[in-house]
């Protein structure tokens, strides 16, 4: 009886062990997908249409969609649970690089360029790129390997994103509304710039604790400023 109970316990634990030792990999294409960044907030009454537009991009292989929730709306009545200082700083980085006079929501940035007419826009892939990326997951660790290229310097960032979130907003401009969110960036982690002419570079990300939501990991290679994407790759496992 004791042996049978131990066997049953091991069988019940097996799925959890399999999940923690998950492995998968992917390699970039010569023509990268589009990188679409939405800067949004649950406290912004103009943002839900943009959130829905971004959600409609789910399931497409020609685009990596990223919903960056910013925190400067939090002081106006409703604290967005997905907002943080790091994602807000990325929007300010784009502002500095572009020379724009201010930041705003909802802001859509496609392939590093501000896209004012996002509601009627078609997604355009990034231009063909000599930069290559490979992603490999082993358990809770994901490694990105970027090949050497002719560019002088490169930079990049990790983004962990989740689908299927919803929030019942109780204050602020969207008070009383239930907001649905996909592509939510729950972790944004820049990597320092490096000399692209040197050997291949590797970067490792330790994944945060998994939730019940569908989760993906993206690695985006940018120019030295960190603003303009050159190559991007998504890992769905």
Residue spans of the domains in the chain: they are 23-235
pLDDT of residue 16: 34
In this prediction, residue 141 carries a pLDDT of 97
Residue 152's pLDDT is 79
Q: Which two tokens stand for residue 188?
A: 């944004």
With a cut of 90, say whether residue 215 has pLDDT above it: yes
- pLDDT given for residue 4 in this prediction: 42
Contact 159, 191 (CB under 8 A): no
Which whole-number Å values give the CA distances from 213 to 71, 182, 183, 210, 232, in the listed order? 22, 10, 11, 8, 22
What are the tokens at 179? Answer: 């907001």
pLDDT score of 18: 34
pLDDT of residue 21: 46
Rounded Cα–Cα distance for residues 217 and 161 (Å): 6
State the average pLDDT over residues 40-50. Answer: 98
Predicted local distance difference test score (pLDDT) of residue 186:
97
Residue located via tokens 């990326």: 133
Evaluate if residue 88 carries a pLDDT over 70.
yes
Report the mean per-residue pLDDT for the chain: 90
What would the mean pLDDT of 54-68 be, rounded to a whole number? 97
Q: Is the pLDDT of residue 3 over 90?
A: no
d(CA 135, CA 130): 17
Exposed, middle or buried, 233 (CB in 10 Å: 0-12/13-18/19+)? Answer: buried
- Confidence band for 13, pLDDT divided at 50, 70 and 90: very low
Across residues 35-42, what is the average pLDDT? 98
pLDDT at residue number 168: 98
């Amino acid at each position: 009886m004791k042996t049978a109970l131990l066997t049953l316990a091991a069988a019940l634990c097996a799925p959890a062990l399999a999940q923690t030792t998950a492995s998968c990999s992917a390699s970039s294409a010569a023509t990268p997908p589009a990188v679409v960044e939405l800067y949004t907030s649950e406290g912004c009454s103009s943002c839900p249409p943009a959130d829905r537009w971004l959600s409609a991009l789910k399931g497409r292989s020609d685009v990596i969609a990223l919903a960056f929730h910013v925190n400067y709306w939090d002081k106006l009545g409703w604290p967005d649970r997905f907002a943080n200082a790091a994602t807000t700083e990325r929007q300010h980085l784009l502002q500095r690089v572009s020379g724009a006079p201010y930041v705003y929501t909802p802001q859509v940035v496609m392939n590093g360029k501000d896209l004012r007419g996002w509601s009627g826009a078609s997604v355009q892939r990034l231009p063909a790129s000599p930069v290559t990326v490979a992603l490999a997951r082993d358990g809770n660790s994901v490694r990105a390997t970027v090949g050497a290229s002719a560019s002088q310097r490169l930079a990049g960032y990790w983004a962990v994103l989740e689908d299927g979130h919803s929030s019942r907003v109780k204050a602020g401009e969207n008070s009383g509304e239930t907001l649905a969110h996909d592509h939510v960036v729950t972790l944004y982690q820049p990597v320092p710039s490096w000399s692209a002419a040197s050997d291949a570079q590797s970067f490792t990300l330790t994944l945060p604790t998994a939730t019940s939501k569908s989760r993906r990991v993206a690695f985006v290679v940018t120019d030295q400023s960190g603003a303009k994407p050159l190559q991007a790759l998504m890992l769905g496992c």
